[in-house]
Structure 1
């Protein structure tokens, strides 16, 4: 198998020169020149998280109704690669060989690259496909600013106006790995959108987290969530304290009037020592997994945003230790039909999963318990604290990366 053709630098240059919807075509040409690849696809997970959608050099695999077709994810090779972040090589029925490699950027798993090659896959070819997959992650992160193709492709079901607003409020990446921490979020919308949001922002020495639940359903709750997130992000970007951020969110809902109300939880994590400031505005308490045991974090709940109170918001304290996993959640995770789910037990059972997979598993358990129909949005935000390289504790470590994903074993800090 030859290794001719242009290299990764030329690949990135070619991608920049091509239209943003031609990312797969550029990568396919690169792999055809180097290894004789004859079929190349990018597959990514749909909004619900239960199917993957195929994008080829010919475009999206779309249905007659204008929505993309999906391939069931559970039990597939794509699911295995997404979960393990390890490539899979196998013989194909056409006499060739198939390579499926993760397409990941800073822990945000965008999908998988599927490549069919005409000859047995040696180390050079496998490394070449994996490098192309990693490059594709950077290309897509850039290109999706300029095209709707990736947003459209994730929609295997019709999206309501409320859901459209809600999706735009979420971070552009549902997962982020950094030195000392991993954070991942998941949101499963209710049949009638319930106004949940989550957010995170990473600075040089600080991680900001928030999870909120606006009152009402559908467009009304989505509009309240928009006010809430706008106020929180605006205050955060001005460098205001966590209590000032809470006050801005409260004021935004009070000024809106009409009985606007939302619960929320804001966190500010010091990346040097793992100390945490928390403001709880009438929101469900987080769960802390520490050394195999789960406990609810003891917090005093202030009144929700939008409800006048004579008492100002106060920041409460928590100190994270290397190896801790913290789970923030909305009340949709605890609704009546999901009451049979022991969230503490599920959190323990998923402790060895990456936060990206743990959040998907936990929300899926709740969705299944509700028969696939939620009365309220079910949202979780998971933080794994490994500890800063210069932080306290023997478990502290720096990030170790391969192909855009952290290589440290999930659920461990060593």
Structure 2
């Protein structure tokens, strides 16, 4: 006969009380932790460049993602435990996840860890991840905690329209990064899921000013509108062409727009004057696998030609990763003042994806390795989007049991 946990009643009272819906994050964390019978808990949110974990209290210090146990929990999306920095107890670091999106970590301090306290810590992390996700769209305190410098207006315009950095389900994960984080002008990305399809797009509007950002936002909005209407890929791209030619006839952008069938692994894409995506298979870079003659950029130039948009297809294998990028990546320079180029870029990709690490972490390390050779300064916007198709293994054929003689 099971006995109800005495903390369950306190948690139910907390969740049932409508007053908790208006609490700030720090107060909500403290009250939820108390309701769960935990001694102390602190939320750390990752900054926009994924280099620091910023605590939601003035007492705790900011922690580096690359050189701390908290950062290890963030990077690996797994529990990590250490002796409490204040002494006399244990700190457990739980990843804060909104689906596939990494929000930060939760620190839970206890005198000792038990199976019950670990279970309660995971429950608190899940609860707070939902609170953060629901509130960060309208509470500026979250934005302020995740920025380390002032953002320029074109970047503010674009980031208001961008989706979460990482999305995914049991079949696929898609993740993206943009740099320079506070000064992007015309680069943008989009990804979304339905029950059967992953939709992705990477765009690069010409220029590096507010007009460039406006071009990308119109293209993103037109792309989403067509996608949500149920248009197929050629019709979707045509809708973006018409939107740009109608509203911004003197502007255009390059792009790759793609759709992945989550059941069959068939990838279909249209390349509108953009660098070709790269296929990563078995930790090897197949640079030419998606190389095709590009169509004209999105916008008025495409409407002035009689050539219809071409849709390309490729059958992916389980575990394949596809990397889409803007030309600011390969146009970055090494410390020797040489262009990074596709060959050196390929080396970074192989190094970042080696070791079987998660796709979001591979991309985070990749963009940081490129930035570190630039001393944090890029000549142009650099956007990376990578998705990995990882369908569940198919069940083998059933073998009938032999009949016993009887």
> TM-score normalised to the size of structure 1?
0.85
Give the equivalent residue in structure 1 for 2:400: none
Give the equivalent residue in structure 2 for 1:318: 314
Deviation at 1:191, TM superposition (A): 7.0
Give the equivalent residue in structure 2 for 1:195: 186
Structure 1 CA distance for aligned equivalents of residues 294 and 13 of structure 2: 55
The structure-2 alpha-carbon separation of the partners of 1:206 and 1:258, relative to structure 1 and needing over 3 Å to count, comes to closer
- Structure 2 gap ranges (5+): 398-406
Between structure 1 and structure 2, the one with the greater Rg is 2
Structure 1 CA distance for aligned equivalents of residues 268 and 315 of structure 2: 9
Superposed, 1:232-311 pairs within 5 Å as 232-257=223-248, 259-296=250-287, 297-306=290-299, 307=301, 308-311=304-307
> TM-score normalised to the size of structure 2?
0.86
The structure-2 alpha-carbon separation of the partners of 1:345 and 1:30, relative to structure 1 and needing over 3 Å to count, comes to same
Superposed, 1:47-126 pairs within 5 Å as 47-56=48-57, 70-92=62-84, 93-117=86-110, 119-126=111-118
Choose which of 9, 18, 36 in structure 1 pairs with 2:20.
18
The structure-2 alpha-carbon separation of the partners of 1:27 and 1:217, relative to structure 1 and needing over 3 Å to count, comes to same
**Is the 8 Å Cα contact of residues 12 and 139 (structure 1) preserved in structure 2?**
no
Deviation at 1:243, TM superposition (A): 0.9
Secondary structure of the residue that 1:135 maps to in structure 2? helix
**Is the 8 Å Cα contact of residues 258 and 269 (structure 2) preserved in structure 1?**
yes
Number of matched pairs: 378
Superposed, 1:156-167 pairs within 5 Å as 156-167=148-159
Deviation at 1:241, TM superposition (A): 1.0
Deviation at 1:310, TM superposition (A): 2.2
C-alpha root-mean-square deviation of aligned residues, in Å? 2.4
Structure 1 CA distance for aligned equivalents of residues 332 and 24 of structure 2: 46
More off after superposition, 141-150 vs 321-330: 141-150
Choose which of 194, 206, 216 in structure 2 pairs with 1:225.
216
**Is the 8 Å Cα contact of residues 272 and 388 (structure 1) preserved in structure 2?**
no
Deviation at 1:382, TM superposition (A): 0.9
**Is the 8 Å Cα contact of residues 206 and 268 (structure 1) preserved in structure 2?**
yes
Choose which of 18, 26, 37 in structure 2 pairs with 1:35.
37
Choose which of 345, 348, 366 in structure 1 pairs with 2:347.
345
Structure 2 CA distance for aligned equivalents of residues 191 and 157 of structure 1: 7
Secondary structure of the residue that 1:35 maps to in structure 2? coil
Deviation at 1:10, TM superposition (A): 4.6
Deviation at 1:81, TM superposition (A): 0.5
Deviation at 1:87, TM superposition (A): 1.5
Q: Does 1:356 align with 2:367?
A: no
**Is the 8 Å Cα contact of residues 273 and 387 (structure 1) preserved in structure 2?**
no
Deviation at 1:21, TM superposition (A): 5.1
Structure 2 CA distance for aligned equivalents of residues 323 and 138 of structure 1: 29
Q: Does 1:368 align with 2:372?
A: yes
More off after superposition, 370-379 vs 93-102: 93-102
**Is the 8 Å Cα contact of residues 185 and 198 (structure 1) preserved in structure 2?**
yes
Q: Return the structure number with greater relative CO, CA threshold 8 A, min gap 6.
A: 1
**Is the 8 Å Cα contact of residues 257 and 271 (structure 2) preserved in structure 1?**
yes
The structure-2 alpha-carbon separation of the partners of 1:235 and 1:390, relative to structure 1 and needing over 3 Å to count, comes to farther
Deviation at 1:104, TM superposition (A): 0.7
Deviation at 1:29, TM superposition (A): 2.1
Give the equivalent residue in structure 1 for 2:401: none
Question: Deviations 1:286-344 (Å, cap 9, x if unpaired)?
Answer: 11111232112222200111223221111111111101111111111111415337222
Deviation at 1:358, TM superposition (A): 1.0
Question: Deviations 1:383-411 (Å, cap 9, x if unpaired)?
Answer: 111125669x99xxxxxxxxxxxxxxxxx
Question: Deviations 1:257-295 (Å, cap 9, x if unpaired)?
Answer: 453010000001111101111000011111111123211
Q: Does 1:181 align with 2:177?
A: no
The structure-2 alpha-carbon separation of the partners of 1:130 and 1:190, relative to structure 1 and needing over 3 Å to count, comes to closer
Structure 2 CA distance for aligned equivalents of residues 135 and 288 of structure 1: 37
Deviation at 1:174, TM superposition (A): 1.2
